[in-house]
Amino acid sequence: MKGIKLRRMLGMALLTATVVTAIPVMAFAEQTEQTGQTEQVGENTGEEESSTPSQETVITGPAVVITAGKAKLLSVTSADEKLKLKWKASGRVTGYVIYRKTSGTEYKKIKTIRDKDQLTYTDKHVTPLKTYRYKIVCFYKEDGKIYYGANSNPISCKVGIKVGTIKAFEVKAVKISLQLKWKKKGNVTGYFIYKKEKKGEYKRIAKVTEKKYLDEKVFLNKKYAYKVRPYLKKDGRVFFGEYTKGVSGKADVKAVKRKITDKNSGLYGKTVLTYEYNDGTMVSDPEKYLDKKDVSYVMYINKSRQMVTAYAQVDKCLVPVKVFICSPGNATPLGTFHLNLKYRWHELMGPCWGQYCSRITTDGVYFHSIFSSKPNDNKTMSVSAYNKLGTTCSHGCVRLQAYAAKWIYENCPIGTTVVIYNGSGYEPFKKPVIGKVPYWHTWDPTDDTAKYLCKEHKCH
């Protein structure tokens, strides 16, 4: 009996048992969270997959453990209304899975990257001013099986607003003003204008919606610098773009001499000096650059264009200072003459009477105002004659508005040279344009002594 028991024990000892060991490769556990930079500004249209992956592999036989690497999320930053992720990884890595969530939601897969060397990703499917939270999981593929690593640290970031930019910003002088112009790129609601003087600081001077601004608060020959900053209004908030670089400008006046070579001009062979702004426009009041104590004038009448130009004589140059519309007549003579007589009021053909009469020729051709039907009565002006100014219609005299006749009467003494010609060529000024008056307006609206009538009728 003892021998039988011994043999049974030896037989059982010869049996071999297989041991099965189950080893979890990876547990997908949430890690300690970190908050990244938040900034200000699309819509999530990326692919989504709920739940976070985990893998468990059961291996029989000797214990074998395959572990995927782990990613560390370095940063999430906002730029151009997108969010850019950067990370690094260690261990066995074939690629990465990126997960994203917003407040009150679960993480969802938005991207699988199968290139282990790609360590950045830009999420374009985001909404401005919304905060997103990200984490990354590494995966490793071997023998047709995929192993996942642990969660990376999470980082949150708020999408910023992308405000458009300004390009081609320039500052140019326009008479005694500085014109700012620019172009834009991107979304812009409007612009803030900043200005500084030579040693000052930039100060905001205007808020505009157009791509231009005219600064009229400048002084001649003084330099100013400007910057423009775009802004964007969204959801009741204002977001600012980048300042432009400072651009300077100056409104200058310069004296320009030119010899007239146009043979069709009454100024042919003369040297004309003009005062001009940076843009080439003549100043409207060049007399302020002249020494009025020593200045003398010469009057040029372009009979064919019905305009009178007053020139100051400076250093053998003619400086154009005034231009008047007029009405000469077919009988108005051509040539060079000199003023030789003056009357405050004088009887003319008709009979009628004119104001501020300056005689051009000894046979009775005058500069004078529009005639009146009664002597010394500026309330009986011929309305039809006034409305014909700028045409050839007189008996020979040169009819003018009252203010023009007065200016010649007061500034051009006896002996002043008057040149009458027909010219289709160069003139420094354009022919003035005036409005007509109604039939009841029997006084000259430019007559200083009749301004009270315009005030009473509220017409000029």
Give the pLDDT band (50/70/90) at residue 28: very low
Highest-confidence range of 1-10, 27-36, 64-73, 194-203, by mean pLDDT? Answer: 194-203
Nearest-angstrom CA–CA distance, 273 and 270: 10
Nearest-angstrom CA–CA distance, 394 and 396: 5
Question: Is the model's pLDDT at 331 over the cut of 80?
Answer: yes
Strand 203-208, strand 190-196: pairing: antiparallel
Question: Is the model's pLDDT at 398 over the cut of 60?
Answer: yes
**Can you list the positions of beta strands (E) in 61-130?**
70-79, 82-90, 95-101, 108-113, 120-123
> What pLDDT score was predicted for residue 237?
86
Peptide bond into 128 cis (omega under 30): no
Q: How large is the average pLDDT for residues 23-44?
A: 36
Where residue 119 falls (left for φ over 0; alpha for ψ -120 to 50; beta otherwise) is alpha
End-to-end CA distance of the chain: 147
Q: Which domains does the chain have, with CATH numbers?
A: 22-158 (2.60.40.10), 165-250 (2.60.40.10), 291-457 (2.40.440.10)
Residue 252: strand, helix, or coil: coil
Highest-confidence range of 18-27, 44-53, 289-298, by mean pLDDT? Answer: 289-298
Question: Is the model's pLDDT at 79 over the cut of 50?
Answer: yes
Q: How large is the average pLDDT for residues 216-234?
A: 93
Q: What is the DSSP letter of 430?
A: P
**CA 310 to chain CA mean position, Å:** 39
Q: How far is CA 339 from CA 308, 400, 447, in A?
A: 15, 16, 22
Averaged pLDDT score across all residues of the chain: 87
Nearest-angstrom CA–CA distance, 451 and 403: 12
Question: Is the model's pLDDT at 55 over the cut of 60?
Answer: no
Nearest-angstrom CA–CA distance, 319 and 253: 14
Instruction: Name the pTM for this structure.
Output: 0.57
Q: How large is the average pLDDT for residues 349-365?
A: 95
Q: What is the DSSP letter of 393?
A: -
Q: What is the DSSP letter of 372?
A: B
What is the torsional sign of CA 379, 439, 357, 413?
positive
Residue 90: strand, helix, or coil: strand
Strand 82-90, strand 70-79: pairing: antiparallel
Give the pLDDT band (50/70/90) at residue 64: low
Percent helix, strand, coil in the chain, to 5, is 10, 45, 45
134 and 73 Cβ atoms separated by less than 8 Å: yes
Which tokens go with 311? 């020139």
Radius of gyration of the chain (CA): 46
216 and 177 Cβ atoms separated by less than 8 Å: yes
CA 347, 351, 357 angle in degrees (round to 5)? 25
What is the torsional sign of CA 396, 400, 402, 403?
negative
